[in-house]
Amino acid sequence: MAEIKNSEIMKFTVNTLIKVISKRTTHAHAFHTVEGVINQLRMKYDFLTNVIIQNMMYSETGSEVTVDSTIDTVSSIDLINCITELVGRSTQAIGEEADFFFLRELRDNFQYENEPIVKDFLLHLNTQQFQYIVERKEEIRREKTFFRIENSEVVIPALSALIYLLGKAKSESEAVEIISNCMKNYEKKFDCFTYLHITKTENDHQYTIHVEPELNALPTNQFVIALSKLIEQIGKLIEENFEQSFIDDFKIVVGDLNIAKMEKIGLDLALINRRIRYQNKKIMIKVLLTLVQTLQSRTLDGSAAEIIEESMKDLQHTHDMLTYVKKMNPHDKTNYSFYVVSEINFVESYKLGAALRDLIKSIQTNLKDKTFIKDFKKQLGNEYLSEIETLGVNLHFLELKYA
């Protein structure tokens, strides 16, 4: 029987890693995990440049691994060291998802066990399995016995980052004032803000964050909700100033250790990022633009914007947030542009949803056009349609009502 080639062993190792990780997470997660580890190791093992993984979303396996035959000239020791480290780092990368039997399952899925090079690798894998079990048990014991993250450990770096990022868009002095006012406005709703104080120093270019002991006595879940709301509100205020996203910069400023603590107590930065991205101002502008586009084909005299403006005026007594929307030139019927004031981002989501629902309903009622809402939904697109539905705007119900 011909001796197994390095390229075959490497290809099988990568495919097996993706397969076993996929069972614990998703294929996409497994693919990005293994690809990321290989990229990290290329500096140490340059022959890994000959290992390419392609994400084949619709294929049977979900990915395709290509290994160039030049890897067959690599020494057995280097190959064993490489795949051992590849497995070890992949195990660390998926964290708790690995569980106690990850490495054992990986071993059980391995073929070519009679090949000398594979035997050596499996010995390494057995050692890794034993070390992992010992370390994981110790980690769990420490977490249960000692590990508790205080609310103050999270809030201080979070507030410092918010002040820094808001200070870049405005000034540090303004940032302190805005965040302090925001916390004060939330005090009735969230107790934790009564135990937090940001104080400017005499030279007005420095500040101190004071945390009262009562903050750490509050339930973690209540604290997380309050902090999430504060981060979201400041993010909405200055999101447009960031090339990537506010949350990406927030993570960099806060640092990996503090981010890990935040995630540990349940702070969902991905969710906050989504709420900031689809902030009230962006949603309102998109809805207004779509209303104009949908009305234009139904109004020959170019009065689309005027119809919207009149409907908003009629609704302002029940939805005062609509005063944040202005027509760019109220005297020009052909100008379809609206200006939305940034303060609308501080309006609670359910109020925005109620205003949008009544605005669309008002226009539909005045038009008496059975296909208006259907066309509006098509113009709006699934992404924003899903977003306004989370705000309570049930266009399907309105469509049935006026059909």
pLDDT for res 227:
93
Q: For residue 375, is pLDDT > 70?
A: yes
329 pLDDT band, cuts 50/70/90, is low
Residue 207: per-residue pLDDT: 81
- Contact criterion met (CB below 8 Å) for 122 and 107: yes
343 — pLDDT class (breaks 50, 70, 90): confident
Q: How far apart are CA 209 and CA 221, in angstroms?
A: 22
Q: What average pLDDT score do residues 118-144 get?
A: 58
DSSP assigned state of 119: H
Mean pLDDT throughout 102-109?
A: 70
Over residues 325-351, the mean pLDDT reads 71
Mean pLDDT of 184-203: 85
> Cα(278)–Cα(269) distance, rounded to whole angstroms?
14
Mean pLDDT of 133-139: 59
Strands 338-340 and 325-327: antiparallel
Residue 357 pLDDT grade (very low, low, confident, very high; cuts 50, 70, 90): very high
pLDDT of residue 335: 46
Asked if the model's pLDDT at residue 267 lies above 60, the reply is yes
Q: Which amino acid is at 36?
A: G
Over 80: is that where the pLDDT of 122 sits? no
Please give the Cα distance from 333 to 337 (Å, whole number).
Answer: 10
Residue 154 has pLDDT above 90, yes or no: yes
Helical ranges in 368-403 per DSSP H: 372-380, 382-390, 395-402
Question: In the 8-state DSSP scheme, what is residue 219?
Answer: -
Please check whether residue 295 is in contact with residue 308, taking contact to mean a CB–CB distance below 8 angstroms. Answer: yes
* Max CA pair span of the chain: 88
Band (159; pLDDT cuts 50, 70, 90) = very high
| Amino acid 147: pLDDT | 57
Q: Rounded mean pLDDT of the chain?
A: 80
Query: Domain locations in the chain?
Result: 6-145, 151-277, 280-402
Class of residue 387 by CB neighbours under 10 A (exposed 0-12, middle 13-18, buried 19+): buried
* pLDDT grade for 179, boundaries at 50, 70 and 90: very high
At residue 183, the pLDDT reads: 92
Q: Letter for the amino acid at 297?
A: S
Arithmetic mean of pLDDT, 185-203: 85
Residue 58 in this model has a pLDDT that exceeds 50: no
Q: What is the torsion angle, in degrees rounded to the nearest 10, for the CA atoms of residue 336, residue 388, residue 57 and residue 263?
A: 120
Mean pLDDT of 192-214: 82
| Res. 168 pLDDT band, cuts 50 70 90 | confident
**207 three-class SS:** strand
Q: Which residues on neighbouring strands pair with residue 99, listed in sequence order?
A: none
What digits encode the pLDDT tens for the residues 221-242?
889 999 999 998 898 887 766 6
Query: What is the CB neighbour count within 10 angstroms for residue 110?
Result: 16
Confidence of residue 355 (pLDDT cuts 50, 70, 90): very high
Lowest mean pLDDT among 29-38, 89-98, 160-169, 359-368: 89-98
Q: What is the pLDDT of residue 110?
A: 65
Angle at the Cα of 240 (from 237 to 244), degrees rounded to 5? 120
pLDDT of residue 334: 47
C-alpha 263 chain-centroid distance: 12
Q: For the chain, report the end-to-end CA distance as a whole number of angstroms.
A: 74
Of all residues in the chain, what percent carry a pLDDT higher than 90?
Answer: 15
Mean pLDDT to the nearest integer, 179-192: 90
For residue 337, what are the CA distances in angstroms to 31, 185, 289?
45, 32, 8
| Distance between CA atoms of residues 179 and 48, nearest Å | 49
Question: What amino acid occupies position 228?
Answer: S
For the cut 60, the answer to whether the pLDDT of residue 351 exceeds it is: yes
Backbone angles phi, psi at 65, to 5 degrees: -105, 125
Q: Is the pLDDT of residue 269 over 80?
A: yes
Q: Which helix (H) or strand (E) segment is 297 a member of?
A: none
Q: How many CB atoms lie within 10 A of CB 347?
A: 18
